[in-house]
């Protein structure tokens, strides 16, 4: 993270031809880089070979195990990272980078549902998905896990490198452990929402420290909270230690976590990944960023009720830039709230935080729940000086980063950190329309007594959120679910048959607040609208929280078929029809 000084610039916003200060590592047999014609070099590790741009640095972790795996400058890292790395706290930004490490019990902990696996005899996975600006592939025939970081601008370059992969004669197979391959595996869970209620000192570091370092710091440091970078397409450091197991271990040991997402930056900066200057588009980008952060948090076992902080670095504010940032944060907040998370905002006190305070009471923007502000004045408190009135975000809603990029050592473990002081609480945790089940489907088919599966679990979850308890949502439509459905239907004037068909789905899915939404709107209300329209019209409406042309047409079709004014604007009459199951 940057200091609070608004004009401080950071490296790492573009591809650099040479990595300053690190020489190329000539590797032994298992890792090597050879010059190739046409601006490429061949890099081989563990029987896995790729062609990368000649100017990319190649770092052999066997020779430099504590090297920081940083993605703000293009590099290839070969080997197993040390548990403790020499990462500066202030790394911000991303260009491109690839880590090739052996498949071990430790590295397998990084695998997620998005991790691709190559077929037998293959070194590439052409359909590998990108999640949070990262493509991960298990090349089991070479026994390596490949993690490739990119931005939208460098994704094609990185995919080209991955597409050049081949196996060599020295490749030896190691399968990814079966537990790491299961997309339906239940992640370990943090000990409650994070950071929860806490007053005291904390720190943030670019990469999650090792378990040994966390234990040593817990025993002798003044800190009991740690900021961790869990997501974002502009996150600067790799996270070899950050797994669901790590999260569970720290929170069980008494640490509080404050999760951080590094995504698009203000449009009035020189960063390579910026939010749009169009407020509506910026809002949509905030929704997308929050969705990625929720996926990452869920995979790490960080539950609903937790706060996630969007890191938007210092910028020189203008009216247009402020509108983009606050629109992005509105989308960010609305999407987090729709899944029951609190929204946080990190920035310089002199720029982003000051701008947010200036529009604190502006209904055009959705206010964030927590402030996390950089003001490096050395004072371990949550005073905001002249930047934010003391009455704003005053109910245990503040984190002050009061010093930055200092190295501290406890129990023999040195870490470069930013120092923080927290006064946080759970506050008014948003109640999700439904948590614990997927409620997004391309069709909401009828479910009834004897049915089972994901749609039954969604119906049970929605009934429970509406106050009609079917018991624990288990995906089995039994007598309790039938009774809950009948009671809900009676409350809406629907036929109380206990069968969840189109009308009951529509009423359940649209339940909640009824703000006016129209073309250009984004957020949780639009998501509910899209679900309800999918059920009511018996056709698929894209559920993305963005009111675009497809949603507009679906609204007009619904209004016309229900005898409403077909203006494409969803106001009280349209919401009323949906919520009554029409």
In the predicted model, what is the mean pLDDT of residues 443-456?
Answer: 94
CB 411 within 8 A of CB 217: yes
Look up residue 141 and give its two tokens: 């025939």
Look up residue 289 and give its two tokens: 């960023």
Alpha helix positions (H), 272-425: 279-299, 319-338, 352-358
| Global pTM value | 0.70
What's the rounded Cα separation, in Å, for the pair 316 and 160?
Answer: 36
**pLDDT tens profile 229-241:** 999 999 999 999 9
What are the φ and ψ backbone dihedral angles of 401, each rounded to 5 degrees?
-85, 105
CB 325 within 8 A of CB 332: no
CB 145 within 8 A of CB 107: yes
Percent of the chain with pLDDT over 70: 90
Choose between 339 and 302: higher pLDDT.
302
What is the separation of C-alpha 522 from the centre of its chain, rounded to a whole number of angstroms?
Answer: 18
**pLDDT tens profile 127-158:** 999 988 999 999 999 999 999 999 999 999 99
Give the lowest-confidence range in 181-185, 258-262, 359-363. Answer: 181-185
- pLDDT score of 497: 95
- pLDDT score of 385: 97
In the predicted model, what is the mean pLDDT of residues 22-50?
Answer: 64
Roughly how many angstroms between the first and final C-alpha of the chain, as a whole number?
Answer: 50
* Residues listed for the chain: 582
Tell me whether residue 254 is exposed, middle or buried, using C-beta atoms within 10 angstroms of its C-beta: 0 to 12, 13 to 18, 19 or more.
exposed
What's the rounded Cα separation, in Å, for the pair 271 and 287?
Answer: 20
* Cβ-based neighbours of 157, under 8 Å, separated by 6 or more: 53, 96, 150
Choose between 364 and 390: higher pLDDT.
390
Give the lowest-confidence range in 164-168, 461-465, 574-578. Answer: 461-465
Question: Which DSSP string do the residues of 95-111 spell out, in sequence order?
Answer: -EEEEEEE--HHHHTT-
Give the lowest-confidence range in 204-213, 235-244, 419-428, 523-532. Answer: 419-428
Helices 524-537 and 572-579: crossing angle, nearest 10°?
Answer: 60
* Cβ-based neighbours of 299, under 8 Å, separated by 6 or more: 112, 113, 187, 244
CB 282 within 8 A of CB 330: no
Look up residue 114 and give its two tokens: 């998005």
In the predicted model, what is the mean pLDDT of residues 61-82?
Answer: 93
Q: Angle at Cα 111 formed by Cα 209 and Cα 68, nearest 5°? A: 35
In the predicted model, what is the mean pLDDT of residues 270-292?
Answer: 94
Look up residue 223 and give its two tokens: 């800190």
E strand segments, 481-579? none
**pLDDT tens profile 514-565:** 888 999 888 788 999 999 999 999 999 999 889 999 999 999 999 999 999 9
- pLDDT score of 32: 57
CB 58 within 8 A of CB 79: no
In the predicted model, what is the mean pLDDT of residues 42-46?
Answer: 96
pLDDT band at 20 (very low <50, low <70, confident <90, very high): very low
- pLDDT score of 34: 54
CB 401 within 8 A of CB 174: no
Choose between 479 and 10: higher pLDDT.
479
Q: List for the chain the helix, strand, coil content (%; round to 5).
A: 25, 20, 50
pLDDT band at 8 (very low <50, low <70, confident <90, very high): very low
- The overall average pLDDT reported for the chain is 88
Q: Please give the C-alpha separations between residue 527 and each of 44, 307, 344, 523, in angstroms, as whole numbers.
A: 46, 21, 21, 6
* Cβ-based neighbours of 274, under 8 Å, separated by 6 or more: 264, 265, 266, 267
């Amino acid at each position: 993270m940057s200091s609070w000084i608004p004009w401080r610039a950071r490296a790492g916003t573009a591809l650099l031809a040479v990595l300053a200060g690190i020489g190329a590592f000539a590797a032994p047999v298992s890792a090597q880089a050879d010059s190739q014609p046409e601006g490429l070099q061949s890099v081989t590790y563990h029987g896995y070979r790729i062609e990368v741009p000649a100017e990319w640095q190649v770092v052999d972790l066997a020779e430099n195990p504590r090297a920081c795996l940083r993605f703000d400058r293009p590099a290839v890292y070969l080997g197993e990272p040390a548990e403790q790395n020499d990462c500066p706290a202030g790394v911000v930004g991303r260009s491109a980078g690839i880590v090739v490490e052996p498949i071990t019990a430790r590295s397998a902990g990084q695998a997620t549902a998005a991790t691709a696996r190559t077929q037998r005899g293959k070194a590439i996975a052409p359909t590998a998905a990108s999640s949070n600006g990262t493509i991960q592939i298990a090349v089991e025939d070479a026994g390596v896990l490949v993690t490739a970081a990119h931005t939208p601008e460098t994704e094609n370059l990185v995919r080209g490198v991955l597409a050049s992969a081949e196996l060599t004669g020295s490749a030896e197979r190691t399968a990814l452990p079966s537990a790491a391959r299961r997309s339906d595996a239940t992640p370990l869970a943090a000990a409650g929402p994070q950071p929860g209620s806490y007053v005291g000192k904390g720190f943030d570091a670019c990469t999650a420290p090792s378990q040994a370092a966390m234990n040593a710091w817990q025993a002798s440091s003044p800190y009991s909270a740690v900021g961790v970078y869990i997501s974002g397409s502009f996150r600067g450091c790799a996270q070899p230690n950050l797994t669901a197991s790590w999260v569970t271990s720290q929170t069980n040991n008494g640490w509080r976590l404050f999760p951080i997402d590094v995504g698009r930056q203000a449009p009035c900066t020189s960063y390579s990944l910026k939010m749009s200057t169009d407020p509506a588009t910026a809002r949509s980008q905030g929704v997308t960023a929050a969705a990625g952060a929720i996926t990452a948090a869920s995979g790490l076992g960080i539950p609903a009720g937790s706060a996630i902080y969007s890191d938007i670095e210092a910028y020189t504010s203008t009216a247009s830039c402020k509108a983009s940032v606050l629109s992005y944060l509105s989308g960010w907040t609305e999407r987090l709230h729709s899944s029951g998370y609190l929204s946080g905002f990190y920035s310089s006190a002199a720029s982003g935080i000051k701008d947010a305070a200036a529009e604190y009471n502006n209904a055009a923007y959705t206010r964030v729940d927590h402030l996390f502000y950089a003001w490096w004045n050395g004072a371990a408190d949550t005073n905001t000086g002249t930047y934010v009135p003391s009455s704003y975000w005053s109910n245990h809603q503040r984190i002050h980063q009061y010093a930055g990029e200092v190295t501290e050592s406890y129990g023999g473990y040195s870490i470069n950190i930013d120092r923080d002081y927290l006064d946080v609480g759970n506050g008014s945790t948003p109640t999700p329309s439904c948590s614990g089940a997927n409620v997004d489907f391309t069709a909401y088919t009828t479910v009834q007594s004897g049915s089972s599966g994901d749609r039954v679990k969604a119906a049970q979850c929605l009934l429970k959120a509406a106050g009609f308890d079917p018991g624990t949502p288990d995906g089995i439509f039994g007598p309790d679910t039938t009774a809950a459905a009948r009671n809900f239907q009676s409350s809406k004037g629907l036929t109380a048959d206990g069968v969840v068909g189109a009308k009951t789905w529509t009423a359940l899915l649209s339940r909640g607040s009824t703000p006016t939404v129209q073309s250009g709107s984004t957020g949780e209300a639009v998501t509910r609208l899209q679900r309800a329209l999918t059920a009511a019209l018996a056709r698929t409406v894209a559920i993305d929280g963005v009111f675009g042309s497809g949603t507009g047409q679906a609204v007009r079709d619904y209004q016309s078929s229900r005898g409403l004014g077909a203006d494409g604007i969803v106001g009280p009459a349209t919401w009323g029809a949906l919520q009554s199951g029409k």
